[in-house]
A and B are shown apart, each in its own frame.
Chain A
Amino acid sequence: EPEVTQTPSHQVTQMGQEVILRCVPISNHLYFYWYRQILGQKVEFLVSFYNNEISEKSEIFDDQFSVERPDGSNFTLKIRSTKLEDSAMYFCATRDRSAFFGQGTRLTVV
């Protein structure tokens, strides 16, 4: 069964450093998303991406965040200068009519 693949599974970074989270979507899916889940809290929408541009973003997705699809396969989320409060699970999701989530990247900012 096709699946969404995320790397790395766990990333530890120092405050102020840049991180890039990677996702390989299901091959025939055209809609891509990033969500995050802080420990013990709801899954929160960050950004959606379609046709090589952002289609919607949340208030969380400020200037420190960016997304791109650099090579037609990977879909990346970059956080330019990480803060302690960015520590969370980050999920990539892709969809046709259904919405499928990757296994997540646990980001820990120290």
Chain B
Amino acid sequence: QKEVEQNSGPLSVPEGAIASLNCTYSDRGSQSFFWYRQYSGKSPELIMFIYSNGDKEDGRFTAQLNKASQYVSLLIRDSQPSDSATYLCAGELTSYGKLTFGQGTILTVHP
């Protein structure tokens, strides 16, 4: 079974710190990975996606992909209390294919 695994946390960081969220996947054929933020009772909001090895930066967010290690991460710089949410990692095997989600990591940013 194709799995995406995340540490469920909770991960607690102080305001202004860097939050590091990690995700591993089992299927080497996975093409792309998506990071979503989900507030309680709400829908997933897309943060960014990555499909090439290396880093991809968007504002305070940096996604990192290492296909050899089957590892994806999301760094949040200058964390704010409003970043407190569940962060979902999802992978896709084929372009425009289904997304397979991890169980999510709960992040708490405390003032």
Query: A16-47 CB contact bits vs B (8 Å, 1 = yes)?
Result: 00000000000000010101000001111100
Report if A101-B96 is in contact (Cβ < 8 Å); known contacts: A42-B101, A43-B101, A44-B101: no
Among residues of A, the one whose C-beta sits closest to the C-beta of B96 is A31
Asked whether A98 and B49 contact (CB < 8 A) given A33-B98, A42-B102, A56-B98, the answer is: yes
* A99-B99 contact, Cβ under 8 Å, with A42-B104, A43-B88: yes
CB-CB under 8 A for A91 and B49, given A33-B98, A42-B103: no
Q: A45-B99, A48-B97, A95-B96 are in contact. Are A101 and B104 (CB under 8 A)?
A: no
Total number of B residues with any Cβ neighbor in A under 8 Å: 19
Q: Assuming the A-B contacts A42-B103, A43-B88, A44-B101, are A50 and B96 also in contact, with contact meaning beta carbons closer than 8 angstroms in the complex?
A: yes
**A103 in contact with B96 (CB, 8 Å):** no
Interface of A is mostly: strand
Most buried by B among A43, A93, A102: A43
Q: Does B62 reach chain A (CB closer than 8 Å)?
A: no
Q: How far is the CB of A12 from chain B (nearest CB, A)?
A: 16
Q: Return the contact of A98 from the options B42, B46, B88, B102 (Cβ within 8 A).
A: B46
A48–B93 Cα gap in the complex (Å)? 14
Separation of A17 and B97 alpha carbons in the complex (Å): 31
A91→B44 contact, CB < 8 A: yes
Binding site for B on A (CB under 8 A): 31, 33, 35, 41-45, 48, 50, 56, 58, 89, 91, 93, 95, 97-104
Give me 19 other A-B pairs in contact (C-beta within 8 A), A91-B43, A98-B34 excluded. A31-B96, A33-B98, A33-B99, A35-B99, A41-B103, A42-B104, A48-B96, A48-B97, A56-B97, A58-B98, A91-B44, A93-B99, A97-B49, A99-B99, A101-B36, A102-B43, A103-B42, A103-B43, A104-B42
Task: Report which B residues bind A (CB closer than 8 A).
Answer: 34, 36, 42-46, 49, 88, 90, 96-104
> Which 7 pairs from chain A and chain B are nearest by CB?
A45-B98, A43-B101, A101-B43, A104-B43, A31-B96, A101-B44, A103-B43
